[in-house]
Amino acid sequence: MAGSLCGLWVDDVGRVHTTRETPGGGRVEGHEELRPFAWLTAAAASGMGAPTVAIERLAGDGPFNHLAHGEVFDAFNDFLRAARETSGVDLIRPWEGQFLLQQRARLYQDMTFGQLRRCQLDIEVAAPEGGFPDAGRPEDRVLAIGLRQQGSDRLLLLEENSDDGEKRLLAALAAALEEMDPDVIEGHNIFKFDLDYLRQRCRRFRVPCAWGRYGGRATFRSSRLKVAERWVDFPRCDLPGRAVVDTYLLVQLYDITTRELTSYGLKDVAVYFGITEEADDRTYLRGDEIQEVFRTDRSRFCAYLKDDLRETEGLAAQLLPTYFEQARTFPTLLQDATLRGATAKIDLLFQEEYYHARQSCPTPPEVQPFEGGYTRSFQEGVFRHVLHFDVASLYPSLLLAIGRNPRNDTLGVFIPLLRRLREYRLKYKQIARTGNSDDERAEAQARQASFKILINSFYGYLGFSGARFGDGELAAEVTRRGRDLLQSLIEEFARQGCTILEADTDGIYLASETHYPDPETLLRRVAPILPPGIELEYDGRYAAMFCYKAKNYALYDGAKITLRGSALRSRGIEPFLKRLSDQLIRFLLGATPDSPLTLWEDYRKRLPERAVPVAELARSETLSLSPEAYERFIAGGGKPRRAAAEAALQLTPRPRMGDRVAYYITPKLKGQNSDWQRARPLARHDETAPYDPAYYLEKLDDWRERYGGFLGVKPKVEPGAQGELAL
């Protein structure tokens, strides 16, 4: 008997295609029915009759107080187009989400992550004279398409360097995917590069992009993903019945909270996540080597491609389980779970309850700004014997203690739903500790971590202006109570003789030589001041902590250094300054006896001779606008001009918004007083455009001014002796 849904697609005529897992791990296809629906305002519902559309009045006073169901898919779409003219339609898309919500169904319901059919995809291409790939250029060529599923590699290689040879290679991809039938296709930068490149080459040779299930073809559209404060543009690819997962995007989402990654490239993140050890015998090739190695050393080329696939598999294995659990929790596709924010997903849970209760829906309320959580840095410098305590799920716990639903949640869904999800989390947290096998414990750990993220998102949902059931006053009450609670904890820890170092929303770092050996005793002494339902946890100890400024600090546990805050680990900082800062932190925390001043002096000597490689000086920044949009911005008198954007205009092909551009600064010419006038892409560095030593010497001296005080160094500037150190 067929089991969990692991593939879903609604075609252009409204027919629902399904793929379900069979007991032996196979897949079987089927068909089900969708009765499409939409919420309407009274204005949209009045006079909007259609023979195949049924409209019913809903309970409650919400603005969307009518529900329309369609019996004929095309006719319902026509009905919606007419109703939208009144701006009175609230519609769930994609249609697959409607089906899941309507059926109270979920993808992968009774499956584990290990039962998911995951396929990794990576391509290697050739460009004329080893230049940057451009799929629109006839001379470009797909050399190989690498596929990996369940640890087994399948390499499709170009056998004949001709248009016919490449055409056969592209056709072989569709045949291979049909045979392998994966639920998920994973790749690193798969949207911006691999699938988009394949799409353009398929179009050139009139090969259909038949990569989906049910005989369906890939569809592409421009999309955007918000990562913290910036937007990333990418050409989204959707495959019928399959999910496309881009680990390049997942890494960026992961780094929002950790802020530890300095590069999002596959090779770097594979080392960061421990998928590839730096000492491993991993095959590395530069981009300009690939074409030649493909021709002269096929085994080395294949080893390189296999390593890329292996690292992608390992990366997705670490980052995807959270989203897999979200697909098991929300009425959404796995691909949408990776690309949609928490607010949209939480809204779906509310909409599901309101749909089945036939209750009218509200519009998102306007949320006024309110004071946030407690954040304060108490000390500067280096401290030893550091302990960290935090309040477990502070805001969700306070919400449950308050017990009040958002103002426009007329069904009272919010608090019961939050309580149920918290109970699920505690259940799986216990199994993660006591499960009978490693696999069971790992699966439970992924589930409890997913539920932790979800329940912590409920507070953020309340304060978001786009949230349908938001409530700014309730969110403000939660943060007020959170600030009061944290202040009480700070006072109590201080009363116990601790030195408070840093406090942030729900956690406290403190130094205490007395309590360092036995933090649990300190926890028992402080915990009694907590109100019912609030739990304080000991979260770790550190040999040393470097407190730089609020929300910027470094922790050392005797083996690993963890950085927090952009001031200490900005991805945009020049590599030579990052190297200095890393050495500074390691030295201050006691991880190395080597002072950064020695390295500083070395740079001071070598820079005037241009003996420092330009790659160590090149700054890397993410483009907030596409080059074309930046040109329009400047043409319209927009300011300020950006060095990274100016460098991007010099590249062919041009990068996209969200891409990173590395650039360096050339010497001043007459009339060039700004960085943007002298910025040149690192990729275009040559002897005709060297870097400006004076510019980087000034950067070096600025670094010393900023951090020298922590090393006991005072600046000493005398005529003819700029840059000398006074120790």
Residue 537 burial (CB < 10 Å; 0-12/13-18/19+)? middle
Which strand ranges, in their side-by-side order, compose the sheet holding 507-511? 375-377, 499-504, 507-511, 381-391, 536-549, 552-556, 561-564
Phi and psi torsions of 340, nearest 5°: -110, 150
- pLDDT at residue 724 is higher than 50: no
Which strand ranges, in their side-by-side order, compose the sheet holding 37-40? 53-57, 66-70, 37-40, 89-90
Sign of CA dihedral 50, 53, 58, 63: negative
Q: Which is nearest to 71 in space by CA: 101, 47, 50, 89?
A: 50
Q: Which is nearest to 240 in space by CA: 178, 189, 190?
A: 178
Number of H helices, E strands in the chain: 24, 26
Residue 107 burial (CB < 10 Å; 0-12/13-18/19+)? buried
Cα-Cα-Cα-Cα dihedral of 581, 583, 589, 590, to 10°? -170
C-alpha–C-alpha distance, residues 278 and 280, integer Å: 6
C-alpha–C-alpha distance, residues 118 and 334, integer Å: 12
Question: Helix or strand or coil: residue 656?
Answer: coil
C-alpha–C-alpha distance, residues 135 and 204, integer Å: 9
- One CATH from 3.30.460.90, 3.90.1600.10, 3.30.70.100, 3.40.50.11740 for 370-403+471-564: 3.90.1600.10
At 476, list the tokens: 């403000």
What's the pLDDT at 142? 96
56-60, 475-479, 538-542, 684-688, range with the lowest pLDDT: 684-688
**Maximal C-alpha separation, the chain:** 90
351-360, 566-575, 617-626, range with the lowest pLDDT: 566-575
Check: CB of residue 663 under 8 Å from CB of residue 651.
no
Alpha carbon distance, N-terminus to C-terminus of the chain = 78
C-alpha–C-alpha distance, residues 502 and 181, integer Å: 51
Phi and psi torsions of 564, nearest 5°: -130, 130
Check: CB of residue 571 under 8 Å from CB of residue 563.
no
Task: Let me know if domain 113-321 sits in CATH 3.20.20.80.
Answer: no
Check: CB of residue 452 under 8 Å from CB of residue 393.
yes
- Strand (E) or helix (H) holding 1: none
C-alpha–C-alpha distance, residues 681 and 688, integer Å: 13
What's the pLDDT at 63? 93
Q: Which CATH superfamily is domain 566-726 in?
A: B family DNA polymerase, thumb domain (1.10.132.60)
What's the pLDDT at 148? 98
What's the pLDDT at 564? 85
Say which DSSP state 194 is in. I
- The whole-chain average pLDDT of the chain stands at 91
Residues 22-43: tens digit of each pLDDT = 998 999 999 998 999 999 998 8
State pTM to two decimals.
0.82
- pLDDT at residue 727 is higher than 50: no
Size (the chain), residues: 727
At 137, list the tokens: 């250029």
- pLDDT at residue 86 is higher than 80: no
C-alpha–C-alpha distance, residues 95 and 568, integer Å: 45
Check: CB of residue 89 under 8 Å from CB of residue 38.
yes
- pLDDT at residue 451 is higher than 90: no
Say which DSSP state 193 is in. I
| Strands 184-187 and 118-126, bridge-based pairing | parallel
Check: CB of residue 327 under 8 Å from CB of residue 108.
yes
pLDDT grade for 720, boundaries at 50, 70 and 90? very low
DSSP 384-395: EEEEEEEETTHH
The segment with the largest mean pLDDT, out of 46-55, 222-231, 334-343, 455-464, is 334-343
Check: CB of residue 358 under 8 Å from CB of residue 59.
yes
130-134, 472-476, 616-620, 668-672, range with the lowest pLDDT: 130-134
At 583, list the tokens: 């050495």
Measured CA to CA in angstroms, residue 618 lies from 573, 604, 683 at distances of: 9, 17, 10
Say which DSSP state 309 is in. H
Residues 567-593: tens digit of each pLDDT = 787 667 899 999 999 999 999 999 999
Number of C-beta neighbours around residue 21 at 10 A: 23
- Strand (E) or helix (H) holding 661: strand 660-665
Q: What integer is the mean pLDDT of 104-111?
A: 95
Using omega within 30 degrees of 0 as the cis cutoff, is the peptide bond preceding 653 cis? Answer: yes
C-alpha–C-alpha distance, residues 55 and 57, integer Å: 7
Question: Helix or strand or coil: residue 514?
Answer: coil
C-alpha–C-alpha distance, residues 680 and 123, integer Å: 29
- pLDDT at residue 244 is higher than 50: yes
Which strand ranges, in their side-by-side order, compose the sheet holding 660-665? 619-622, 660-665, 679-681
Q: What integer is the mean pLDDT of 461-484?
A: 92
Q: Which residues of 187-196 are buried (b: 16+ CB within 10 A; e: fewer)?
A: bbbbbbbbbb
Phi and psi torsions of 191, nearest 5°: -75, -50
What percent of the chain is predicted at pLDDT more than 70? 96
**Cα atoms in the 13 Å half-sphere on the side-chain side of 53:** 25
Residues 6+ apart with CB under 8 A from 326: 332, 337, 345, 450, 454
Residues 6+ apart with CB under 8 A from 254: 261, 319
Residues 67-78: tens digit of each pLDDT = 999 999 989 988
Beta-bridge partner residues of 9? 17
Measured CA to CA in angstroms, residue 49 lies from 38, 56, 79 at distances of: 14, 12, 8
Mutual orientation of helices 414-434 and 438-462 as an angle, nearest 10°?
160
What's the pLDDT at 49? 66
| Strands 375-377 and 536-549, bridge-based pairing | unpaired
Sign of CA dihedral 471, 476, 479, 485: negative
SS (H, E, C) 445-497: HHHHHHHHHHHHHHHHHHCCCCCCCCCHHHHHHHHHHHHHHHHHHHHHHHHCC
C-alpha–C-alpha distance, residues 436 and 70, integer Å: 49
Q: What integer is the mean pLDDT of 702-716?
A: 86
What's the pLDDT at 47? 67
Check: CB of residue 182 under 8 Å from CB of residue 118.
yes
C-alpha–C-alpha distance, residues 248 and 268, integer Å: 12
Question: Helix or strand or coil: residue 81?
Answer: helix
What's the pLDDT at 713? 87
